[in-house]
Amino acid sequence: MLSDAEAQALWLSLIVATRSVTFSLPLAVLAAWVLARGRFPGKTLFDGFVHLPLVLPPVVVGYLLLLGFGTRGPIGHFLYENFGVRLAFTSAGASLATAVMSFPLMVRAIRLALEAVDRGLEDAARTLGAGALDRFASITLPLMLPGVLAGAVVAFAASLGEFGAVITFASNIPGETQTLPLAIYQAIQTPNGDAMAARLATLSIVIAFAGLLLSEVLARRIRATTAAP
């Protein structure tokens, strides 16, 4: 059985990860499409910018978010003054931090799936009069869907485990920004908190493993459906 604090950390982690993937997935599909199909000056720089969070320390990412989206930062100040939106030290800020950190993982998985799509099928549909949106919805998207699903699940699991960017940008506030990794960290620092840390760590492993299994099952079904005559 989980205590109220543990259940709260679990629920908040699921909310933060779900919100992170939901809002960043369309942008990840767009970025993957640009990188896979686009031809423009500065593409290499754009590619490096998209994947930069993979090589930066998470604390640096959180610090940069704090500079840009804090109430004194250019973007954060504009949002707060005009719309009353504050991201730093909130659950929305935790979602933003996890979205930035997991974004390259989604883009990479979706890009690989998109590059594996047979362009001949799209060309054939074009000759039959299918428009760009029709080709994307009926051919490209179903074929790249396993990659989209894999990227979303990996990003969700990574969001559940994100620590450095979240604690730097959103802090460790119980009930507001304290996700599972932050709760585990606090439990380790607390006397007699080993049992709580072990429970939360086990819970994190179970959730991540279940998500990966579900992703694989759904991906196989999607492949079987798209490959069916």
Digit-coded pLDDT (tens) for 151-210? 998 899 899 989 999 999 999 999 899 999 999 999 999 888 899 999 999 998 898 888
Could you tell me what percent of the chain has a pLDDT over 90? 59
Digit-coded pLDDT (tens) for 30-61? 999 999 988 889 999 999 999 999 999 999 99
Domains and CATH numbers, the chain: 4-227 (1.10.3720.10)
Q: What is the pTM of this model?
A: 0.89
Digit-coded pLDDT (tens) for 86-145? 999 999 999 999 999 999 999 999 999 899 888 888 888 888 887 778 888 888 888 888
Identify the CA nearest to 147 among candidates 105, 107, 103, 110.
110
Question: DSSP secondary structure string, the chain?
Answer: ---HHHHHHHHHHHHHHHHHHHHHHHHHHHHHHHHHH---TTHHHHHHHHHHHHHS-HHHHHHHHHHHHSTTSHHHHHHHHHH----TTSHHHHHHHHHHHHHHHHHHHHHHHHHTS-HHHHHHHHHTT--HHHHIIIIIHHHHHHHHHHHHHHHHHHHHH--HHHHHHT---TTTT--HHHHHHHHHHSTT-HHHHHHHHHHHHHHHHHHHHHHHHHHHHHHHHHH--
Contact by Cβ (8 Å): 88, 177: no
The dihedral region occupied by 88, where left means phi > 0, alpha psi between -120 and 50, and beta the remainder, is beta
Q: Residue 189 and residue 192: Cα distance in Å, rounded?
A: 9
In the chain the first and final C-alpha atoms are separated, in Å, by: 49
